[in-house]
Amino acid sequence: MARKSLKKGKKREEKSEGKEEKGKIRRKQERQIKIFLLVMFFLLVFIFAIYMFYLASVKFRYAGLEFEKVREGKLILYRTPVLPIFLRNDPRELRDIKIDSRIILKRKIGIAGNEKIIEECEDSVLSATILSIFLGKAGLQPFSATTNKSQAEKLNMSYVSCELESDYSAILFEKADVAEIEKEGNCYILKVSDCNILEVTERFIVASYAHSRGIEV
């Protein structure tokens, strides 16, 4: 009888030890699962934060427009579905180019370039092209012009003057020490320094769109 009691006692001890061991294993597994879930949570938060940072770096709002930064080969461009052109410069970085007056354009617009700018600045043709495309798509009527009356007669070009009252606006490119945009009579003078003609042109385009909708830039 005593032997049977001892055997039963040992079995109960073994069962108790087995349950305790299983409990330890279960608790360990539960801790591991909690740690895994916690790591996964912080990993997802980190990935989400990276994704939001990425979106903020490629998409932004400025001058009432939604812009997206895109790469075309080696070029980084800025596009918005509203404007019919791609910008080469981040429009937010052009805010230092001063504009001394609100841009309000008439339907007809003469575009006149300075000969030195055309000869010396490689982006002069590109700037005039994207400006003409923008104005045309906006429902306006851009045309090539000159402020030199004798040249206009000789080359059979349109002549524009800032002093004369007329049914057109004029956009003139001039060389200057400081890049800025000034209004003189019916002319908007895009002053170019160090051949930054593209930057001044894109500043004018974005500002003219914003001003037409009562937005300051």
SS3 letters for the chain? Answer: CHHHHHHHHHHHHHHHHHHHHHHHHHHHHHHHHHHHHHHHHHHHHHHHHHHHHHHHHHEEEECCEEEEEEEECCEEEEECCCCCCCECCCHHHHCCCEECCCCCCCCEEEEECCHHHHHHCCCHHHHHHHHHHHHHHCCCEEEEEECCHHHHHHHCCEECCCCCCCCEEEEEEEECCCCEEEEECCEEEEEECCCCHHHHHHHHHHHHHHHHCCCCC
How many whole angstroms separate alpha carbon 204 and alpha carbon 193?
15
What pairing do the DSSP bridges indicate for beta strands 98-99 and 180-184? parallel
Q: In the chain, what percentage of residues exceed pLDDT 90?
A: 59
| Interval 8-28 mean pLDDT | 65
Does this model's pTM top 0.95?
no
- Predicted pLDDT at 197: 96
Residue 12 has pLDDT above 70, yes or no: no
| Interval 32-44 mean pLDDT | 74
Domains of the chain: 98-212 (3.30.379)
Mean pLDDT in the chain?
Answer: 85
- Predicted pLDDT at 11: 57
- Predicted pLDDT at 151: 87
